[in-house]
A = this chain, B = another copy of it.
Amino acid sequence: MRQRLRELGVSIGALPPGPTNSLTDVPGVWVGHTTIVLDTPRVARTGVTVIVPREGRIWQDYACAGFHALSGTGEMTGVLWISDSGFLTTPIALTNTHQVGLVRDALVAYGSRHGFTPFSALPVVGETYDGWLNDLDAFHLQPEHVFDAIDRAAPGRVREGNVGGGTGMICHDFKGGIGSASRLVSAGAGSYTLGALVQTNYGERRSLRVDGVPVGLEIGVDEVPAPWKQPPPISSILVVLATDAPLLPHQCRRLAEHAAIGLARAGGLGLHTSGDLFLAFATGNSIPARSTGTLPMTMLANQDLNPLFEAAAEAVEESILNALCMAETMTGYEGRVAHQLPLDRLVEVMRKYGRLGA
């Protein structure tokens, strides 16, 4: 049975997690998955994960947002709009490389159908490449899969591992997928929640670190084989950060960039052929869709951003590790196998390096 990192006794960082230790701890942030696993007529190991802020009212009540690309071999639609307007105006979807477009247009259609204008036409959809386990050229996803994921989005602990957009993903040469974590933060007399959700599909085995321990060297590809002899051409990580703190757009951009800290600590290197794309949004301000004139806003003082930066680093690191801990061995396209991270061995290694009681 798979367990999250913390259930194994390993904690990342100093800050406490929220109730479910996942993105949905941020009030009003919902997550929905559609997972497609088929063996015939063509092999499907793919899906879509949708993040729906404000209990579904994000189309009418925008959130501040910002974007950063550590490494740009990837696609995330909608980020020109976010960087310029400062606002997230739609749900966010994560999917595979070949169907970013379909998912993007489906979000447009969904918004259009529900009258969510005018800025529903520039949605945020990111991708990572699942073509090793998934027959990508079968173009499995249909608009209905996207609509379903939106309609199924709900609060409560995020499902992790082989679900949604993460279904066919591979990370540090283990089976990867969706992971999530959260942190509770005191910043400037206020208390806030920060959540992270990642779709992990990056990295070589040898660089994997768990709380600084070189797990990827200890559990090498001689022990647990990598899915391939040579690395595949495209691999990536998508990070979505959410907080209920009242950050302005330029502060969200900085928060997004701090995902790199957590990624680096887990062993990420921002490699070429990796699309390491980070989006952060903050629900602490309400921007009604058709606002004109002046709006009252609240800003967390820059001096108080640091606990959120630290929370972002911790939550991203733990989200990646949760994805690895929760994903299960998968056999897919052309019989290829991606093995799960063996949790018993992980515990052994952590002990060896003085991180768990003997």
Residues of A within 8 A of B (CB): 14, 69-81, 83-87, 97-106, 108-109, 112-113, 117-119, 121-122, 125, 129, 136-137, 139, 188-190, 206, 209, 211-214, 233-234, 246, 248-251, 254, 257-258, 260-265, 268-273, 275, 277, 287, 290-306, 309-310, 313, 352-355
Bound together, the chains give a CA A233 to CA B355 distance in angstroms of 34
Quick check: A121 and B97 within 8 Å, CB to CB?
yes
- A303 partner residues in chain B, CB cutoff 8 A: 272-273, 290-292
Q: Smallest distance from the beta carbon of A190 to chain B beta carbons, Å? A: 6
Contact of A85 among B265, B302, B355 (CB under 8 A): B302
Query: Given that A101-B100, A272-B306, A310-B269 are contacting pairs, would A118 and B80 also be in contact in the complex, using a CB cutoff of 8 Å?
Result: no
Which residue of B has the minimal Cβ distance to A126? Answer: B80
- A273 partner residues in chain B, CB cutoff 8 A: 118, 303, 306
Quick check: A137 and B117 within 8 Å, CB to CB?
no
Bound together, the chains give a CA A294 to CA B270 distance in angstroms of 21
Top 9 nearest A-B pairs (CB, nearest first) are A212-B212, A72-B84, A101-B101, A101-B105, A264-B264, A118-B233, A101-B104, A188-B293, A72-B80
Of listed A87, A99, A271, A295, residue having the most chain B CB within 10 A: A295
Bound together, the chains give a CA A73 to CA B79 distance in angstroms of 10
Query: Given that A269-B309, A291-B303 are contacting pairs, would A71 and B98 also be in contact in the complex, using a CB cutoff of 8 Å?
Result: no
Q: Smallest distance from the beta carbon of A82 to chain B beta carbons, Å? A: 8
- A189 partner residues in chain B, CB cutoff 8 A: 292-293
Q: List 13 A-B contacts (CB under 8 A).
A: A14-B206, A86-B302, A87-B302, A101-B108, A113-B137, A212-B212, A212-B213, A254-B272, A264-B313, A265-B265, A271-B306, A295-B299, A352-B354
Q: 20 more A-B contacts (CB under 8 A) besides A262-B264, A265-B265, A269-B310?
A: A69-B84, A72-B85, A80-B275, A98-B121, A101-B101, A102-B102, A121-B129, A189-B293, A211-B212, A246-B294, A250-B250, A260-B261, A261-B270, A264-B313, A269-B306, A272-B305, A292-B304, A293-B301, A294-B298, A352-B354
Quick check: A298 and B295 within 8 Å, CB to CB?
yes
Quick check: A309 and B272 within 8 Å, CB to CB?
yes
- A112 partner residues in chain B, CB cutoff 8 A: 98, 136-137
- A301 partner residues in chain B, CB cutoff 8 A: 291-295
Q: Smallest distance from the beta carbon of A161 to chain B beta carbons, Å? A: 25
Quick check: B305 and A294 within 8 Å, CB to CB?
no
